[in-house]
A and B are shown apart, each in its own frame.
Chain A
Amino acid sequence: MKKAFAVLLPLVALLALASLVIGPADIGPIAALKALVAGGDGPLPLVMREIRLPRMLLAILIGGSLGLAGAAMQGYLRNPLAEPGLIGISGSAALGAVISIQTGLSAAFALALPLMALAGAVGAVLLLVLLAGPRGGSLTLILAGIAVSAMASALTSLVLNLSPSPYAAGEIVFWMMGSLADRSMVHVWLAAPFMAAGALLLARTGRGLDALTLGEDAAGAMGVHLTRLRLALVLGTACVVGAGTAVAGAIGFVGLVVPHLLRPVVGARPSALLWTSAAGGAALLLAADIAVRVVMPDRDLKLGVVTALVGAPLFLHLIWKTKGEQA
């Protein structure tokens, strides 16, 4: 686990630095970093502090959240296919966020945006845990996830299509694919407290998740309070995923890819996987966000497109493997 961190943390730092110096405006890296730290006249400090810094911070926070939530859900459901985006949690959070924007709630009360996204996410996680709880198989989980996902995206589209704003329908893409373009520090402050609370909740599930690998009865015998574990997981996941989705849309596959890649490195202990996955998620999302800026700088490519291009083949591979095991 220490070895994984020794690689991941410098990687995150390096990518964060790259994220700060890469952008559509042609600014030298030294000048950019100097303006970020020291300020100065002209538009440069503004660009660095109000556009690039929040973008970098959100990539770390959201990537970390998704990695963490993915690892926790996979540990709890003992299923490598559990992922917040794939099973409809992000989509439901997006629905909550869209409702808060379209009803004007978020304009009247800024916290309504993350709170409504949180509510959407809680609803989805509860539904999934009820439908496919610890005893349910992969198939039940994926089917329940597909149903929740489809419902959430249909309702999101419905709300946006009913909106009087002519831009609303075009926003469907943002909510389904996610983007970090042109976010501000306001969004960071809006999301960060919820993510911190959720991360704390999820961090405390580590021991319980480890015990759960031995089965529920064994975990119970070891003194793990299963109801409390479930509650922490539901609320924690909803907090981190809801807050991230509220400000950047639904970004899929991060929580699937990262734990999968890191599991061989840290071993099968869920508690060890939690924080390494958070670091890995941050690295992956930073890299994806750099990619959308480098590959198509003038197209506003959505972040979820990149993560899906990386994640979907892996998902297929996982299904293939699961099929092999069952046969």
Chain B
Amino acid sequence: MRSARAFLAALCLGVPAAAQAQDAAPRRVVSINLCTDQLAMMLAAPGQLHSVSMLATDPRSSAMVEEAQAYDINHALAEEVWLMQPDLVLAGQYSSLAAVAMLRRLGVRVAQIAPANSLEEVRDHIAEVGTLLHREAKAEALTAQFDADLAALRAPAGDARPRAALYYANGYTTGDQTLAGQILAAAGFANVAAEAGFPYGGPMPLELLAMAEPDALITSRAYPGGSRSEEILEHPVVERLRDAVPGAIMSDADWICGTPKVLGAMKKLTDMRERMRPAQ
């Protein structure tokens, strides 16, 4: 009740709540973005992370559902986050902007982390969140492990590069300049989207996909509840392509966020490429 009143008072008067000194390690961290949720869970000291967003508990989007059970759940709404009285809020660069703006106005320290667009940025973000949480040593250990695992998975340079297409609901594809594209490239595939003129991705007309004749097709896993957007993945053209080439339906969770979990996605791709080898 008191904190609710304080919330109103701070909102009305614009009085900044007492901001934590930035040089001390934050003790009560709330993350409101799926990707910062996962980085924070990997890096935070016991008791340091108080709450993660609801998406972190959704197996379709989160690669760390079990870990997330240990934390309070938030819905990225300014009011509930304020009432949790965090001394650091981790948010995404482009999501929940209204909540971020309001929390800042209330004097809460909010760090925004951009989505990772490459494997290199995964390392950067581990370091960034590590610094914010004052857990540099843990971050360095995680990065070292990531580098070692990545090196072991990376496709040898001389290998043939089968052409793969990433194709999702609404005919969306992702190009080379995205995290998914970089995972694909590191696993030794060429991306059809880049050939077709989609370096960043976007909705790729079905006929361009058909004309590109990819060697492999990677589609997303269907969500529950029917949707017209996903219907395109059952279009006769896609079905025929799926029958003709080794397709892999990939769980989205490993692909979404720039965390070391992307190596799980890469492992599946590398295995698929190995299986394709005798056919070539």
Is this pair of chains taken from one and the same complex?
A: yes
Residues of A with Cβ closer than 8 Å to B?
Answer: 23-25, 27, 42-44, 46-47, 50-52, 101-104, 106-107, 163-168, 170-171, 174, 181-182, 184-186, 298, 300
Q: Could you say which of A25, A165, A166, A170 contacts B207, with CB atoms under 8 Å apart? A: A25
Q: Could you say which of B203, B206, B213, B229 contacts A51, with CB atoms under 8 Å apart? A: B206
Q: Is B235 an interface residue (CB 8 A)?
A: yes
20 pairs, CB–CB < 8 Å, chain A vs chain B: A42-B213, A43-B213, A51-B206, A51-B207, A101-B228, A102-B226, A104-B225, A106-B226, A164-B223, A164-B224, A164-B225, A165-B226, A165-B227, A166-B223, A167-B230, A170-B170, A181-B206, A182-B171, A184-B235, A300-B171
Are A163 and B227 interface neighbours, CB within 8 A?
yes
With A50-B236, A170-B170, A182-B171 as known contacts, state yes or no: A25 contacts B208, CB within 8 Å: yes
Which residues of B are found within 8 Å of A25, using beta-carbon distances? 205, 207-208, 210-211
How far apart sit A44 and B232, CA to CA, in the bound complex (Å)? 19
Are A167 and B237 interface neighbours, CB within 8 A?
no
How far apart sit A310 and B223, CA to CA, in the bound complex (Å)? 37
Are B205 and A171 interface neighbours, CB within 8 A?
no
Are A101 and B240 interface neighbours, CB within 8 A?
no
Nearest CB of chain A from residue B35's CB, rounded to whole Å = 15
Which residues of A are found within 8 Å of B235, using beta-carbon distances? 50, 182, 184
How far apart sit A186 and B207, CA to CA, in the bound complex (Å)? 17
Q: Is B202 an interface residue (CB 8 A)?
A: yes
Are A163 and B207 interface neighbours, CB within 8 A?
no
How would you classify the secondary structure of chain B's contact residues: helix, strand, loop or mixed? helix
Nearest CB of chain B from residue A160's CB, rounded to whole Å = 9
Are B210 and A43 interface neighbours, CB within 8 A?
yes
Residues of B with Cβ closer than 8 Å to A?
Answer: 169-171, 202-203, 205-208, 210-211, 213, 223-230, 232, 235-237, 240
Which residues of A are found within 8 Å of B240, using beta-carbon distances? 46
Nearest CB of chain A from residue B191's CB, rounded to whole Å = 17
Which residues of B are found within 8 Å of A298, using beta-carbon distances? 202-203
Which residues of A are found within 8 Å of B226, using beta-carbon distances? 101-104, 106-107, 165
Closest-by-CB residue of B relative to A23 is B207
Q: Could you say which of A44, A50, A104, A167 contacts B170, with CB atoms under 8 Å apart? A: A167
Which residues of B are found within 8 Å of A44, using beta-carbon distances? 211
Which residues of B are found within 8 Å of A168, using beta-carbon distances? 225, 227, 229
How far apart sit A164 and B235, CA to CA, in the bound complex (Å)? 22
Are A167 and B229 interface neighbours, CB within 8 A?
yes
Which of B224, B225, B230, B237 has the most chain A CB within a 10 Å cutoff? Answer: B225
Are A171 and B171 interface neighbours, CB within 8 A?
no
Q: Could you say which of B202, B203, B237 contacts A46, with CB atoms under 8 Å apart? A: B237
